[in-house]
Amino acid sequence: MTITIQRLPKIQTAFGLSRSSVYRHIAEGLLPKPIHIGARAVGFPSHEVEAIVQARISGASESTIRQLVIDLTTQRTTLLSNNLLKGC
């Protein structure tokens, strides 16, 4: 699986949200926290964004989406841990 990083403007377009609404959704647990890709730059893994878009399209409730965000964050942590242990 190729993971790409999407910057904030693409997230805004994908969800139809303003910048402040994206960050409000993050605070409410409806979007995962972005990852740092530079000293002053962040982005969102594309597979996480796609999973949440699919959940929204399928009509998932906010509580289901919050659980999805928790699961995606756990997967991200596991992926990072596995790569660090392998020396990547």
- Predicted structure pTM score: 0.84
- Section 27-36 average pLDDT: 96
CATH classification (class only), 5-85: mainly alpha
Q: What's the pLDDT tens digit per position in 60-88? A: 999 999 999 999 999 988 877 777 556 54
Predicted confidence band at 17 (pLDDT cuts at 50, 70, 90)? very high
Predicted confidence band at 1 (pLDDT cuts at 50, 70, 90)? low
- Section 19-39 average pLDDT: 96
- Section 44-73 average pLDDT: 96
Alpha-carbon span 20 to 39, nearest angstrom: 21
Q: What are the structural domain ranges in the chain? A: 5-85
Buried b (16+ CB within 10 A) or exposed e, 6-21: beeeebeebbeeeeee
